[in-house]
């Protein structure tokens, strides 16, 4: 059995470690700085919610003793032939890149690495970082030479929360290597570990660029949908009807408009291009359009209701999208800022969060007894709980702003409540 260390047991790292641990020929060390995460994994428990299949895989790995978590990354790495890095790179408020966590992880790896080890980065990165930043750090600290004494690969993680286990074997794994030997080792490792198709690309940089390009593609296309929706609204045309009609042509794939783009991928990774030379053009503009959608939505509410001062507004969903417990860069945070600026009292409902987790955003955690107080409802994250929502309890609500164009308009109107969507009246 080969030993592999997965560094970072988060929402992506834990499912990855769990699949490797169940593939039949890998012993997995899961390294994480969070002691609670490590303790849970060592008890056979997943700390990641809402990930179908993950609890079972962790329990199975616990039974077979093929997954062992630790806070000691260097020690785990010293016993491993393969190291997979899935610790995030973040962006600061001003969009600048924050390497704090991954730099520290790479230093730990460098202190433990032995000759012949393959280190594979999966974290989304600006092009060039695997080679120039992390490869060099490992060389400097370990005294080993990349491509000769240790091998370097980059393989982006392209999965979607909520269906990670499925995606990991269904998507082809884009794999790259510093040199042919690195690529050969990485392709073999992923093919066996994930039982998936391998899509080799010619350089570390091409693979790094691929993942960011996917995020930019989504962001730009959502921005286009938002622009079309705002324009359609001016002309009193229903954008959803238009999109359905337009997409009946095979070359048209107009995305869905909405109240914003959240999460820690799509609104974040375009800055890896914007900060590194792609400082003008569609990528930058799209970021601005998508972030301005919260302002647009609040403006629409004002148009319908007049001043929002002292109005009690309920936002549905703290998460950035439906059925995922993830508040990072959620459009709800932008909506909260806009609404507060207008003097509104903001309530937030999210069935996936405890009241205390919601109140720390400076809003009132919604509970049923607040229903009669609410004057405006904005749907942001379409959790399953909001399907077939009963609006009859909201006796003083005069407007539902459907930020995802998914609610039952007729049912809302039946309650005497006005309805608007994004590009939908
Ligand atoms: N979440 C997604 O939907 C998604 C989708 C595709 C790709 N990704 C990629 O996966 C990467 C990881 O995302 P995530 O959602 O798993 O992040 P996460 O925040 O859920 O988990 C990161 C984990 O890394 C650990 N960590 C931080 N510093 C460490 C260190 N020095 N050593 C060891 N562990 C450390 C944290 O304790 C945490 O458990 C992201 O950067 C992104 O590039 C994420």
Residues 6 or more apart whose CB falls under 8 angstroms from that of 327 comprise 318, 319, 320, 333, 353, 361
Which phi and psi angles does 3 have, rounded to 5°?
Answer: -100, 135
Cα of 338 vs centre of ligand 1, distance in Å, is: 30
The pLDDT assigned to 50 comes to: 84
Ligand 1 pocket (Cβ < 6 Å) reads 7-13, 31-34, 37, 73, 86-89, 101, 104-105, 123-124, 157, 159, 161, 265
- Which of 17, 54, 71, 264 is the best mutation target for the ligand 1 pocket, counting ligand atoms within 8 Å of the beta carbon and taking the most? 264
Average pLDDT over residues 114-125: 98
- Which of 10, 85, 106, 265 is the best mutation target for the ligand 1 pocket, counting ligand atoms within 8 Å of the beta carbon and taking the most? 10
Cα of 16 vs centre of ligand 1, distance in Å, is: 11
Ligand 1 atom nearest to CA at 13: 16
pLDDT tier for residue 418 given thresholds of 50, 70 and 90: very high
Residues 6 or more apart whose CB falls under 8 angstroms from that of 289 comprise 223, 226, 227
Query: Which ranges in 43-154 belong to alpha helices (H)?
Result: 54-64, 73-78, 100-112, 129, 136-142
Residue nearest to atom 32 of ligand 1 (CA): 105
Ligand 1 atom nearest to CA at 269: 43
pLDDT in tens, 270-317: 999 999 999 889 999 999 999 999 999 999 999 999 999 999 999 999
The pLDDT assigned to 161 comes to: 84
> What is the gyration radius of the CA atoms in the chain, in angstroms?
24
Do residues 272 and 124 lie in contact, with contact meaning Cβ atoms separated by under 8 Å?
A: yes
Residue nearest to atom 31 of ligand 1 (CA): 105
pLDDT exceeds cutoff 80 at 95? no
Average pLDDT over residues 141-150: 98
Question: For the chain, what percent of residues have pLDDT higher than 90?
Answer: 94
pLDDT exceeds cutoff 90 at 91? no
Ligand 1 atom nearest to CA at 263: 3
3-state secondary structure 295-352: HHHHHHHHHHHCCCCCCEEEEECCCCCCCCCCCCCCHHHHHHHHHHHCCCEEEEECCC
Residue nearest to atom 24 of ligand 1 (CA): 8
CA distance 107 to 133: 11
Ligand 1 atom nearest to CA at 102: 31
Which conformational region is residue 201 in: left (phi greater than 0), alpha (psi within -120 to 50 degrees), or beta? beta
Ligand 1 atom nearest to CA at 158: 6
CA distance 50 to 53: 9
pLDDT mean across residues, the chain: 96
Cα of 116 vs centre of ligand 1, distance in Å, is: 26
Cα of 386 vs centre of ligand 1, distance in Å, is: 29
pLDDT exceeds cutoff 90 at 1? no
Residue nearest to atom 19 of ligand 1 (CA): 10
Q: Pick the closest to residue 370 from 344, 389, 397, 343 (CA basis).
A: 397
Give me the residue label for tokens 């609410």.
Answer: 374
The pLDDT assigned to 279 comes to: 82
pLDDT in tens, 355-398: 999 999 999 999 999 999 999 999 999 999 999 999 999 999 99
pLDDT in tens, 226-267: 999 999 999 999 999 999 999 999 999 999 999 999 998 999
pLDDT exceeds cutoff 80 at 156? yes
pLDDT tier for residue 199 given thresholds of 50, 70 and 90: very high
CA distance 216 to 225: 14
- Which of 5, 7, 12 is the best mutation target for the ligand 1 pocket, counting ligand atoms within 8 Å of the beta carbon and taking the most? 12
- Which of 86, 107, 159 is the best mutation target for the ligand 1 pocket, counting ligand atoms within 8 Å of the beta carbon and taking the most? 86
Cα of 90 vs centre of ligand 1, distance in Å, is: 10
The pLDDT assigned to 360 comes to: 97
CA distance 20 to 173: 14
In eight-state DSSP terms, residue 405 is S
CA distance 333 to 291: 11
Do residues 331 and 293 lie in contact, with contact meaning Cβ atoms separated by under 8 Å?
A: yes
CA distance 39 to 339: 41
CA distance 95 to 267: 10
Cα of 94 vs centre of ligand 1, distance in Å, is: 21
The pLDDT assigned to 280 comes to: 86
**Token reading at 21:** 């641990």
Per DSSP, the three-state class of 403 is coil
Residue nearest to atom 26 of ligand 1 (CA): 8
The pLDDT assigned to 169 comes to: 86
pLDDT tier for residue 80 given thresholds of 50, 70 and 90: very high
Average pLDDT over residues 32-54: 96
CA distance 47 to 44: 10
pLDDT tier for residue 90 given thresholds of 50, 70 and 90: confident
């Amino acid at each position: 059995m080969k030993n592999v260390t997965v560094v970072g047991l988060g929402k992506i790292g834990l499912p990855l470690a769990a699949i490797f641990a169940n593939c039949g020929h890998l012993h997995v060390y899961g390294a994480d700085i969070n002691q609670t995460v490590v303790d849970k994994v060592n008890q056979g428990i997943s700390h990641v919610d809402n990930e179908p299949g993950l609890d079972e895989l962790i329990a199975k790995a616990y039974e077979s003793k093929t997954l062992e978590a630790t806070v000691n990354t260097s020690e785990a790495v010293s016993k491993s032939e393969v190291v997979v890095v899935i610790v995030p790179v973040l962006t600061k408020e001003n969009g600048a890149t924050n390497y704090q966590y991954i730099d520290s992880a790479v230093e730990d790896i460098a202190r433990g690495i032995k000759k012949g080890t393959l280190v594979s980065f999966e974290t989304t990165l600006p092009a060039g970082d695997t080679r120039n930043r992390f490869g060099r750090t490992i060389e400097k600290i370990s005294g080993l030479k990349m491509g000769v004494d240790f091998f370097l690969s980059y393989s982006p993680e392209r999965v979607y929360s909520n269906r990670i286990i499925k995606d990991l074997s269904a998507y082809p794994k884009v794999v790259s290597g510093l040199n042919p030997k690195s690529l050969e080792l990485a392709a073999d490792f992923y093919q066996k570990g994930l039982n998936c198709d391998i899509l080799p690309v010619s350089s570390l940089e091409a693979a790094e660029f691929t993942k960011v390009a996917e995020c930019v593609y989504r962001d730009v296309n959502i921005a286009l949908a938002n622009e079309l929706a705002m324009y359609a609204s001016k002309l009193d045309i229903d954008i959803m009807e238009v999109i359905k009609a337009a997409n009946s042509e095979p070359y048209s794939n107009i995305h869905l408009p909405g109240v914003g783009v959240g999460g820690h991928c799509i609104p974040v990774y375009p800055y890896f291009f914007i900060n590194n030379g792609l400082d003008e053009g569609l990528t930058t503009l799209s970021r601005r359009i998508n972030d301005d959608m919260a302002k647009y939505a609040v403006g629409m509410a004002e148009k319908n209701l007049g001043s929002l001062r002292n109005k009690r507004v309920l936002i549905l969903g703290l998460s950035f999208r439906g059925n995922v417990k993830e508040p990072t860069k959620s459009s709800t945070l932008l909506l909260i800022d806009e609404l507060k600026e207008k003097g509104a009292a903001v309530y937030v409902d999210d069935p996936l969060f405890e009241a205390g987790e919601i109140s720390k955003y400076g809003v009132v955690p919604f509970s049923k007894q607040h229903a009669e107080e609410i004057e405006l409802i904005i749907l942001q994250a379409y959790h399953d709980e909001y399907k077939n929502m009963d609006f009859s309890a909201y006796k003083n609500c005069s407007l539902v702003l459907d930020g995802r164009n998914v609610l039952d308009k007729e049912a809302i109107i039946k309650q005497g409540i006005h309805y608007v969507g994004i590009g939908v009246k």
